[in-house]
A and B are shown apart, each in its own frame.
Chain A
Amino acid sequence: MLEDLKSWFSINPYSLKAKEKEELLKARLLSLTEHHRKKCSEYANFLRLIDFDNKKISTAADIPFFPVRLFKEYELLSMDRSEVFKVMTSSGTTGQKVSKIFLDKATAMLQQQVMLRLLSSFLGSKRLPMLVIDSPQVIKDRKLFSARGATVIGLSFTARETIYALNDDMSLNMDNVNYFCEKYTGQRSLIFGFTFIVWQHLYKELLKRNIKLNLPEAFLMTGGGWKKLTSESVTRQVFKSKFNETCGIRHFLDHYGMVEQTGCSYFECGHGHLHVSIYSDMFIRDYKNFSLKKNGEAGIIQLVSALPQSYPGHSLLTEDEGIILGEDDCPCGRKGKYFEILGRLKSAELRGCSDTYATKF
């Protein structure tokens, strides 16, 4: 399986134009479909359900997809349980079901390698010191990785030095922050955290204590969505200008991704566009019949990834809505699609008898 991907590593992940990429990706996705059919009985049943015929696949977009939600309902593995190397979970709030993603060593390695390759296109290939806006607790439970922990661990492998900015109770560890700033001001560095945590536990804390930091060369890398912040009327623009004011930050690197396709993250370039690499692709689907939407039209996001070998997650229908802004022509020079996320699909409020509200009387 891994052999398929060997040649990919000699290619710059944002260098292929649509046609060249399509050939490469289609072949890999077809081979993954066949692999998962053999190894995962639920996936084989799924292919039967939709009457799948690999002879009818002419483009990567024809590869069947199923709802990402199913990883919350079923444990789906394309390997023997004895080969499980780690289990990743989505960071759901209490009471919510979480996705469980089963990784073997090969898939975990692949995710790691690809994420770093993609990141280096934005940060350069030098190892950078990293300030994690989270508590060291986030990586402690090694058996059950959350999306937050997995990203932190992935990044810390390549970091020159990793410093945690928060204490276990999520309060600001000012000693650590000062240490990092003094040592690395004027040097390129990475600050990483989930959007809401960065805002809540770094920005708001600094503001409260009336402290300013000076990190003009740092990249502030964020992820995890904007829903909570937009509900507090904090737009991306506000976020950026506030961090510029309090920390002197000029470089922002937001990203989009999901635990079900770790490794294939989508990073934001200097033009504010999220980019698709050669390792994955995005298709926008019409809710009426799941047909493909054109670039520029909003719809449900389907994501394909070349990486998942140990679980059948190479083609998934998400519950996010997005819009493909263009392909191969972003002014930043990267090839491939670039897009915008519009947010979660609104959940349905149905009539009927089953109770949705009445949990507590």
Chain B
Amino acid sequence: MILMQQNFNNLQFLVGTQNILEELKTVPALPIFAPRMTEFFSAFSNVILKDRRARNFAHVTAYAYWIRRASLEREKNMRNDFIDSRLGRGVAFHIAPSNVPLAFAMSLTVAAMAGNASCVRLSSREFAEVEIICDAMNELLDTGFKDLKNYFLLVRYPHDERITEFFSELCDVRIIWGGDNTINTIRQIPLLPRSVEFTFADRHSVALIQSEKYLESNAQDVAKKFYADTYDMDQNACSSPRAVIWTGNATDEAREKFWASLEKIVHADYEMQPIQAVDKFSAACMLGMKNNGVKLVSTDNFVTRVEVDALKSSCMDFKPGGGCFIEYIAKDWSEIIPLLNKQCQTVAVLGINLQDFRKWVISKGLRGVDRIVPFGETTALAFMWDGFDLINGMSRYIEV
């Protein structure tokens, strides 16, 4: 391929070199959960955890725990039947989002455990988290894991369609993070006929609370978990609940306790910027101006709460982030269906059995809901994402 010899002078290598870029196409694919990869990631975990800087970033340490040996072995064991029959597709090209620093690391890990070499386009926005990960990776690839050097290429480049075209023509799997606009733009650039693509589009998420069960739980503990689900990512991750739905017969008491406990943590820990107060109030007003059954019930601007008297999919159109919640009291689950559309990714539940809720979702044939998780786990890293089994999707099954 002629393009192979091309030198892009605005391509910045954070991990890997021009040589590795040129070799990428011929790197042998690996079986899924290749032992050598597991060794690499478990060493990677240790290096990250030893880095003092990592302690300031809960998401970095969470990532390091996710890739430790025991965790990877657990994932592998779930796929024991296919360990000998699945091989990586080849090269995965990841386009990382500009505002979730660790999404690229998860993406890269999944692709590697599925047996692929990776080329990651990192966002031009610089994060300390990204630096920690790249430093650790370089340290290992330069010492004990030189044999895996060809599997990891992390680059940054300014908007340049030619480079994106180059990688898109080279890859067997393309993974696009970063929302609808990015996906639509990059989809203009074709893939090879055999290549597959995973897109992580704009989604919304919902919290569902059974009021009596809530009152039996530790309010402070629940508030902490919910804070991690929302404010930790400025309530701007796809998995951050933006609607809180109450069921059961103790909703008045439960709501009062829940929001008061959350407010306490938000006041203490969340650094709200003045414009966010305006953003959240604007969103509340926009929803309220077009619907007449809407009430603003917040006590201040740290936790903005808008109570609605009916759920429509348009309730989720307003996403200022930073702690703005639609609230609704439901008599039964069927009332929430308008929110559980294609856009819906995660339902975080409290006091509700995960399997029961999944059974119900399946029985209704809903187009949305890819994940049902307990409170506090919406941001958990996983080999399944947005309803895709990524290990299967990024590898081939060799039939005999």
Alpha-carbon distance A287/B279, docked complex (angstroms): 11
CB within 8 A of A352: which of B95, B124, B235, B284? B235
Q: Min CB distance, A306 to chain B, in Å? A: 22
Alpha-carbon distance A74/B291, docked complex (angstroms): 13
- Nearest to A44 among chain B residues (CB) is B292
Asked whether B275 lies within 8 Å of A346 as measured between CB atoms, the reply is yes
Asked whether B278 lies within 8 Å of A300 as measured between CB atoms, the reply is yes
List residues of B (263-303) whose CB comes within 8 Å of A's CBs.
Answer: 272-279, 281-282, 284-286, 288-292, 294-296, 300-302
Contacts of B179 in A (CB 8 A): 353-355, 358
Asked whether B124 lies within 8 Å of A42 as measured between CB atoms, the reply is no
Contacts of B186 in A (CB 8 A): 361
Asked whether A351 lies within 8 Å of B237 as measured between CB atoms, the reply is yes
Contacts of A50 in B (CB 8 A): 288, 296
Asked whether A46 lies within 8 Å of B285 as measured between CB atoms, the reply is yes
A327 at the interface (CB under 8 A from B): no
With most chain B CB atoms within 10 A of its CB, the pick from A45, A49, A299, A317 is A49
List residues of B (71-126) whose CB comes within 8 Å of A's CBs.
Answer: 95, 97-101, 103, 123-125
Asked whether B185 lies within 8 Å of A345 as measured between CB atoms, the reply is no
B354 at the interface (CB under 8 A from A): no
A48 at the interface (CB under 8 A from B): yes
Q: How many residues of A contact B (CB 8 A)?
A: 41
Q: With contacts A289-B300, A321-B274 known, is A353 near B236, CB below 8 A?
A: yes
Contacts of A44 in B (CB 8 A): 292
Contacts of B286 in A (CB 8 A): 70, 73-74
Alpha-carbon distance A346/B179, docked complex (angstroms): 24
Alpha-carbon distance A351/B275, docked complex (angstroms): 15
Contacts of B123 in A (CB 8 A): 357-358
CB within 8 A of A67: which of B99, B285, B319? B285
Asked whether A355 lies within 8 Å of B285 as measured between CB atoms, the reply is no
Asked whether B98 lies within 8 Å of A49 as measured between CB atoms, the reply is no
CB within 8 A of B182: which of A290, A299, A348, A358? A358
Sample 27 A-B pairs with CB under 8 A, ordered by A number: A45-B290, A46-B285, A49-B284, A50-B288, A66-B281, A67-B285, A74-B289, A289-B301, A290-B281, A300-B274, A346-B273, A346-B275, A347-B275, A348-B321, A350-B321, A351-B236, A352-B99, A352-B235, A353-B97, A353-B200, A353-B203, A353-B237, A354-B319, A357-B125, A358-B123, A358-B178, A361-B186
Q: With contacts A48-B288, A49-B294 known, is A345 near B233, CB below 8 A?
A: no
A323-357 interface code vs B (CB 8 A; 1 in, 0 out)? 00000000000000000000001111111111111
- Nearest to A358 among chain B residues (CB) is B182
- Nearest to A49 among chain B residues (CB) is B288
Contacts of B212 in A (CB 8 A): none
Asked whether B234 lies within 8 Å of A358 as measured between CB atoms, the reply is no
List the 9 closest pairs (A to B, CB-CB), nearest first. A352-B236, A49-B288, A287-B274, A355-B179, A289-B300, A350-B234, A358-B182, A42-B289, A357-B98
Alpha-carbon distance A35/B98, docked complex (angstroms): 46
Asked whether A45 lies within 8 Å of B294 as measured between CB atoms, the reply is yes
Asked whether A45 lies within 8 Å of B274 as measured between CB atoms, the reply is no
List residues of A (285-313) whose CB comes within 8 Å of B's CBs.
Answer: 287-290, 299-300
Q: With contacts A357-B125, A361-B159 known, is A352 near B237, CB below 8 A?
A: yes
Alpha-carbon distance A74/B189, docked complex (angstroms): 35
Q: With contacts A66-B285, A354-B236 known, is A49 near B273, CB below 8 A?
A: no
Alpha-carbon distance A290/B273, docked complex (angstroms): 13
Contacts of B319 in A (CB 8 A): 354
Contacts of A46 in B (CB 8 A): 285, 288-289
A217 at the interface (CB under 8 A from B): no
B240 at the interface (CB under 8 A from A): yes
Q: Min CB distance, A311 to chain B, in Å? A: 13
- Nearest to A349 among chain B residues (CB) is B99
